[in-house]
Amino acid sequence: MLSVLRAAALLGPLAALVAAIPTDTGSSKRSPYDISLPPLIPSIPGVTEPLASNAPPLPILQLPTPPLPSPPFTPSNIKPKKIGYFWTGSGDNQHADFLLTVSLDDDTFGTIIYLTEVPTSGNSPHHLGSSLDGKTLVGGGLLSLLKTQDTAFYFDVSNPYRPAFKKSNRGILGSIVDEIRAKPDGGFFITYMGSAVGTSPGRLVETDAQGSILHEWPEDVNGLVNILGEQFSPHGLSVDFDKNIILTSDYVVPLSILKPTLGIQRANTLRLWNLASRTIISTITIPNGGGIQDVKFIPGNPESAALATAVHLGQVWIIYPFRTNAQGKQGVAELLYDLGDKAKDSVAIYSDITDDGKFAYFTLTLGNHVAALDISDLNNVKRLDDPNETQPIIGPHYVKISPDKKNLLVTGYFVQAGDISVLNTPGDYKGHWIDILPDGSLSFNRTVDFEAIFTRDRGGARPHSSVIFDLTDPEHPKYY
């Protein structure tokens, strides 16, 4: 906190205006477990604009200046059946970050329907998730902490063609929003990869339907001893509501990617949770995994098996949560498939699995490659892509399978934290709409070039994640 105050003190007279700022960014109802604070520096026309571009450099922390004004966006009145929502950062980190609503229909593909800004900039928009009823989207900010800003952003999408920013908030114990999973009651489970200051331990955060934080798990003594005893930096998240279990996967300590650093601290562990009690049952280790970025239950698997990605190894592991190891501990990890040289030390390997459990797709960020596996027989996994093929994509990361299983939506951007970081990955800043062929293999087809569209008025665009709405059948809309 002292560092934040020192940063504010650099602004001289502006710091005195802090007391006049309202203390709510979109909702009057607050849970005792969450907080929402405005940026320390209010927007002052003619004063904060030059400050945003001429602020003195600080170690890690950034001055919490308000976003620069952007020209108005002209909406489109089309109403496609398939919609892609892209949680996007401004290319210059000085204009407001934003949610893009884009047509995925064949005849109007790539048309930007609407642009919804959030009140802050420099958040490095990260993952995006939808409520089960399709009325709310929540997106996280990877670097919001550095400007002492809220880290979770909620959007009202009850009108899917005109999303509205709803509110933002942050946890007390955790920061760095990563994976998001909807609860049946309308709330969310969210992994916060770091502590309140970006170190370990992070937290598994639970919200209600209004987005207010209910708890930051674990809260039990055994769970706290567990996560304090070794690195707890939850990134991946999967929930099996029927079998009463949660899996989280530990990735990296967020602060360790920022300078000065002795090197990125990568984890080798997953945590198996009891859903009903929100307690950690056991820690599952993938030896020398070097960052277990993602984990997802395989739909329909009789053992509730899950796939986990080990980034250093470039491998896919299978987790059997109800099997026990030689010591009688619940949860067993076994190697399923080695993705080859392009996946080794690829910084990020993210995945998605078709809802019939047949096909799995993996983005190899530094390998510039999307891998496809037929997992219908886990004893005979088949690779569907050519690992030596040069694909027309740079820096693929977030991947979503369309609800009709005809396409992959992949964003060509992972993270670029700039001079303050040791992690800046190349990207093409595109949304790739890739055809899934009948055998599960891929055919690259169409893209949306967000960088080109927003170069002039926002310094470009950095689309990290997406959600797909399929409204083809009005009686049975699908939100994913």
Q: Tell me, what CATH number does 422's domain have? A: 2.130.10.10
* Residues spanned by the domain of 454: 2-479
- Structure confidence at residue 223 (pLDDT): 86
Residue with tokens 């599952």: 284
Q: How far apart are CA 99 and CA 94, in angstroms?
A: 16
Residue with tokens 């707890």: 232
Q: How far apart are CA 84 and CA 95, in angstroms?
A: 22
- Structure confidence at residue 260 (pLDDT): 82
Judge whether 367 and 390 are in contact, CB under 8 Å: no
H-type alpha helices, 370-449: none
Q: How far is CA 49 from CA 54, 69, 174, 277, in A?
A: 9, 8, 31, 49
Q: What one-character DSSP code corresponds to residue 3? A: H
Indicate left, alpha or beta for 438 from its phi (over 0: left) and psi (-120 to 50: alpha): alpha
**Who contacts 172 (Cβ-Cβ below 8 Å, separation ≥6)?**
33, 34, 35, 196, 213, 216
- Structure confidence at residue 7 (pLDDT): 37
Q: How far is CA 95 from CA 11, 98, 117, 285, in A?
A: 20, 9, 9, 41
Spatial strand order of the sheet with 315-324 comes to 292-297, 306-310, 315-324, 330-338
Distance of CA 90 to the CA centre of its chain: 16
Is 104 strand, coil or helix?
coil
Using alpha carbons, select from 264, 118, 249 the residue that is nearest to residue 179.
249
> Going by DSSP bridges, is the β-strand pair 349-353/203-207 parallel, antiparallel, or unpaired?
unpaired
What's the chain's length in residues? Answer: 480
Task: List the pLDDT tens digit at each of the 480 positions of the chain.
Answer: 333 333 333 333 333 333 333 334 444 455 667 788 766 666 767 656 665 665 555 556 777 888 999 988 999 999 999 999 999 999 999 999 999 999 999 999 999 999 999 999 999 999 999 999 999 999 999 999 999 899 999 999 999 999 999 999 999 999 999 999 999 999 999 999 999 889 999 999 999 999 999 999 999 888 888 788 889 999 999 999 999 999 999 999 998 988 888 889 999 999 999 999 999 999 999 999 999 999 999 999 999 999 999 999 999 999 999 999 989 999 999 999 999 999 999 999 999 999 999 999 999 999 999 999 999 999 999 999 999 999 999 999 999 999 999 999 999 999 998 888 888 999 999 999 999 999 999 999 999 999 999 998 899 999 999 999 999 999 999 999
- Structure confidence at residue 480 (pLDDT): 97
DSSP string, 201-254: --EEEEE-TTS-EEEEE--SHHHHHHHHHS---EEEEEEETTTTEEEEEE-B-G
| Torsion on CA atoms 311, 315, 318, 319, rounded to nearest 10 | -30
Domain count along the chain: 1
The amino acid at 58: L
**Counts for the chain of helices (H) and strands (E), in that order:** 4, 30
| Greatest extent of the chain over all pairs of C-alpha atoms, in Å | 67
Using alpha carbons, select from 210, 21, 235, 252 the residue that is nearest to residue 140.
235
Q: What share of the chain is helix, strand, coil (3-state, %, to 5)?
A: 10, 40, 50
- Structure confidence at residue 49 (pLDDT): 64
Which residues share a beta bridge with 364? 349, 369
